[in-house]
Structure 1
Amino acid sequence: MSDDINYKNNPLHGISLKNMLVELVDHYGFEILFAYLYINCFKTNPSIDSSVKFLKKTDWAREKVEAFYLYEFKHLPRASDEQFLLPPRDRIIPDDQQPGSPKELSLEDAQRLREKRERKASERGRGGDHRMGKSQRDNRSGKQNKNNTGPRNTSGDRSTSGKPWPPGARHSSSPAADTPFDPWAQAKIKNKERRDS
């Protein structure tokens, strides 16, 4: 790490998670935070302490709140593609970018934004509301998640993640990638063998 990089220009530098959350709740309230971030700790019996406890344990949610703090509350310009791959606390904010006044947010704007995101996701074929967490960004950027001790999957093949393939999904790493993957194939083979014997 070189000394000429100014990490201190990042508004998250030196602020605790609790103090950041207090600022956000004082300005926007839990209802707006839930509407924009869609994190359940802001909806179900919300409190600063319970939210801090959840965010400390959940990387993707904490990074989402920190990004909201930087780009909505501190009104900084969006990060470059290279900086976007980093967690918000590790991002370098150029010296010429200074925090502004918080954006005015409303529940109606949050609903329009959510509908726009869902429409874009369905147009890309993802179907529904897709959120990319830190581990997914790490995989995209070639980093290995320190909590993930299993094999890293970069091919898009979900089989190493422990999640089953949805019906009709295509198995990208199989030799016959153009045939649908059948998650019940082994059971069908065993049942057929039992009937035949």
Structure 2
Amino acid sequence: MMKKLGAIALTATMMLSLIGCSKKNFDGNYTAELDLTDSVVESIEAGFGETDYEWTGTYIESYKLELSEGKYNYSTDIEASKESYLAFLRENVEAYLYSVAEAELAADPDFAGMTVDEVLEASGYSIWECYTDYKTEDEYIDEVANTFDSYTEEESGDYEIDGDTITLLGVDAVDTEGEEIAGWPLTYEDGNLKGIQYMDEDNLEEETEITFVRDAE
């Protein structure tokens, strides 16, 4: 009898071990970054037009994902994203506006031989006043910073595990046909979680692969 009970206990222990091994532990903190430089450039140029200006630097949007005992919290890292965005704007926007002005002057014979600075001095306006609702770059940057400070993107809820896939329930997502799906699936790969993030649900060509990198313990 004791041998039989021992065998049963051993079998039960092995079964528990197998169950534990078959279900990955996704719990932990993750971070992800997306390079949205092209989207920002396209948005700005849509308002003022394309020029031969060569944009420099990058805009990186940062995200956080926390998983713990069946619960998740997904959010945008506002401070990191804001710092990257403002640095990109400072590096480029004023120079880009000058390139817009230069293109306009080159196309207008009335301003032949004049530089942008000469035209601005004669008009009494800054480059910012000519093309935006702001008087200076600092005024523009402050307004953008305030917009970031008032913006929050945070979602939380339950997650489900199916093999190598974890689904964040409640997160808005669409499939390749543009249909809404119940949750955002992320696939476990090399210790990280990968998925598709549609930046524009009306344009499925805008799909972007996002990788959540697990923080070191």
| Bin of the TM-score, shorter chain as denominator length | under 0.3
TM-score when normalising by structure 2: 0.20
Higher relative contact order (CA 8 A, sep 6+): 2
Higher strand proportion: 2
Query: Greater helix share, 1 or 2?
Result: 1
